Structure 1
Amino acid sequence: MEVMKSMYNLATMLQLQRFSTAQEKLTQMEVERFLTSEGIRFEREKHLSDRDIPDFLIQTQFGNVVLEVKTRCARKAIYRQLERYAGHQVVNGLILLTGTSMGLPPEINGKPSIVASLGAGWL
């Protein structure tokens, strides 16, 4: 699946960065600066519905990918949030950039999903 290639490339690029992990809003601002500097097309806090507002909706040539940033959060809450996002037609894939140690299934609601580690860039 072509969208997966785009997702893995983006996740790899994100993991090489040293984003702040102290405050989620600061991390999001740093991610936004990085995406902009790389010329990646995205919408910030795109309203999929009144309740579903992912941090970034990234436009790739193969479809739209949600990028959700979580510095620290309960695993079940993160999964439920991604599950809701995956239920939207406009979403073709999900990337979770997180400091929380967790995995994701290969698909959520039929949409590919991957985890990128916030800590990897600091190793």
Structure 2
Amino acid sequence: MEIIEVMSSLVEKLQLQRFSTEQEKLTQMDVECFLASIGICFEREKHLSDRDIPDFLIHTPAGSVVLEVKTRCARKAIYRQLERYAQHQVVAGIILLTGTSMGLPPEIKGKPSVVASIGAGWL
């Protein structure tokens, strides 16, 4: 399975869940419990560098995927953060799970990127 297929499958699963949206740390805890419950191999707050610490680094046979959780944040700040993550060789793709209404280009720094809506599970 290619990385984009892995990412799409994960986005589908994430968007079916009802994650807490009150505080970002609570959302992250909900996501961590969910990933563990479905047997996903991941590291929490994996240091890619001193400055770059994604919420989750998910390990798949197709490569490692950053999963960043943002309940509310400025779009430009989110994008700049994802750009930094994409520069790391270990990162094969990026998923943004967010309550912020925004899109992403299909690739960031040559790495596939997708947005998952936190609110989708509540619809």
**TM-score normalized with structure 2 length:** 0.99
Structure 1 position 53 matched with structure 2 position 60 = no
Letter in 2 for 1:49: S
- Structure 2: gaps of 5 or more residues: none
Corresponding residue for residue 14 of structure 1: 14
Inter-partner Cα distance in structure 2 for 1:99 and 1:54? 17
Corresponding residue for residue 65 of structure 1: 65
**How many percent identity over aligned positions?**
80
> Aligned-pair distance for 1:37?
0.3
Inter-partner Cα distance in structure 2 for 1:78 and 1:36? 25
Letter in 2 for 1:83: E
Corresponding residue for residue 33 of structure 2: 33
Deviations 1:72-120 (A, max 9, x none): 0000000000000000000000000000000000000000000000000
Inter-partner Cα distance in structure 2 for 1:100 and 1:121? 15
**TM-score normalized with structure 1 length:** 0.99
- Structure 1: gaps of 5 or more residues: none
Inter-partner Cα distance in structure 2 for 1:104 and 1:30? 24
Structure 1 position 103 matched with structure 2 position 100 = no
> Aligned-pair distance for 1:16?
0.2
4+ residue stretches of structure 1 with deviation over 6 A? none
Letter in 2 for 1:20: S
Secondary structure of the 1:119 match is helix
Instruction: Give the CA RMSD over aligned residues.
Output: 0.7
